[in-house]
Amino acid sequence: MHIVVLVKPVPDTASGGERLGPDGRLDRAAVPAVVNANDEYALEAALKLVEANGGEITIVSMAPAAGTDTMRKALAMGATRGLLVTDDALAGADHVSTIRVLAAALKGLEFDLVFAGADTSDGQGGVVAAGVAVLAGLPYLSYAAKIEPNEESKTVRVRRISPTGYDVLEAPMPALVVCTQALGEPRYPSLKGIMAARSKEIVTRSLADLGVEAGSVGGAVSTTALVGSEAPPPRAATRVVRDTPEVAAKEVVDFLAERRII
């Protein structure tokens, strides 16, 4: 079984240092990059399936050239190899460009399943995976809490979380599955894994390599544009209550009544 996992290097939210550069784009040099947290769940789900059924995992990223550093972290978790799509023309790429490029990257690969995270911590749009499925002509199974591929029938069953429970969806493979945290905690890379990742292959591809016309994607043809940004109004100072539970409870309820919440 061959699983492709879409992995995005994102600024580490724990650093708290994310900011926009003078061009109005995310300043990727300002903070260390990490594997997007939701993509780690997707990778973990892929690792479990490959451990159970045999197979390989290719991680695919679209990122600046330095993205290979972050991809090594995903390789250290156990992925087999990486494919990085990087091109100067991709700076400032919007959702539509990202969808087109990732779909083009998949065209050159053979796989049974593509896994993606539910959204990314930087863009948060949560729209790219559905778009990639459309352009790559793949069945789309999203918000998975359980993934059961059947190699004999070449189908995959997915439990999709719904507002009232879950739906069981079935589709022929190859298919694209959006993974959730309900699939289980991502592992920490072992020392052995980290060592092994150093020599794993990461292939780099430009837009030309993928046969994508440079002028058709990237910041120059973005469908959206930043108009402005400002810090949100600061929250009022925190009121600290250190009374006995009974007195504190009265203060809280009074506070809620003042704000017309109760």
Partner 1 sequence: MAGLWVLGEVTPDGTLAHISGEVATLARTLAEAAGQEVAGVVVAADPAAAAAELATFLPRVLAVSEPAAADRPWSMVAAERIAALLEPATAEFMFVGAGPDGRDLAGALAAMRGWGVLANATGAAWDDGSPVAEMSVFGGKLTTTSRFTGQTGIVTVRPNVVSAAPAGKPGSVEAVEAAGGDLSQPAVRVERVVEAGAAAPIEEARVIVAGGRGVGGPDGFKLVEDLAEALGGAVGATRAAVDAGWIPYGQQIGQTGKIVKPQLYLALGISGAIQHKVGMQTAETIVAVNRDPDAPIADFADLVVIGDLFAVGPALLAELRARSG
| Span 123-162, contacts to partner 1 by CB under 8 A | 123-135, 137, 139-143, 145, 157, 160-162
Peptide bond into 174 cis (omega under 30): yes
The single residue listed with the structure tokens 């045999």 is 54
**What would the two tokens of residue 124 be?**
């948060």
Interatomic CA distance for residues 158 and 145, integer angstroms: 7
Q: Assess 230 for contact with partner 1 (CB under 8 A).
A: yes
The nearer residue to partner 1, 144 or 197, going by C-beta atoms, is 144
Q: Assess 262 for contact with partner 1 (CB under 8 A).
A: yes
CB of 161 to partner 1, least distance (A): 6
The interface with partner 1 within residues 160-189 (CB under 8 A) comprises 160-172, 175, 180-182, 185
The nearer residue to partner 1, 65 or 150, going by C-beta atoms, is 150
The nearer residue to partner 1, 29 or 134, going by C-beta atoms, is 134
Residues shown for the chain: 262
Q: Which stretch binds partner 1 (CB under 8 A): 1-9, 81-89, 192-200, 253-261?
A: 253-261
- Residue 204, CA distances (Å) to 67, 71, 115 in order: 10, 12, 20
**What would the two tokens of residue 226 be?**
């930043």
The interface with partner 1 within residues 204-223 (CB under 8 A) comprises 222-223
Instruction: Give me the amino acid identity at 190.
Output: S
Q: Assess 232 for contact with partner 1 (CB under 8 A).
A: yes
Q: Using CB under 8 A, pick the residue from 57, 96, 144, 207 that binds partner 1.
A: 96
The nearer residue to partner 1, 191 or 262, going by C-beta atoms, is 262
Q: Assess 32 for contact with partner 1 (CB under 8 A).
A: no
Q: Assess 115 for contact with partner 1 (CB under 8 A).
A: no
Q: Which stretch binds partner 1 (CB under 8 A): 54-62, 76-84, 206-214, 252-260?
A: 252-260
Q: Assess 194 for contact with partner 1 (CB under 8 A).
A: no
Residues near 128 by beta carbon (within 8 Å), at least 6 away in sequence = 6, 95, 98, 99, 102, 116
Q: Assess 71 for contact with partner 1 (CB under 8 A).
A: no
Element (H, E) at 35: strand 33-35
Q: Assess 231 for contact with partner 1 (CB under 8 A).
A: yes
Interatomic CA distance for residues 160 and 79, integer angstroms: 25
- For 19-38, letters b (16+ CB in 10 Å) and e give eeeeeeebebeebebbbbbb
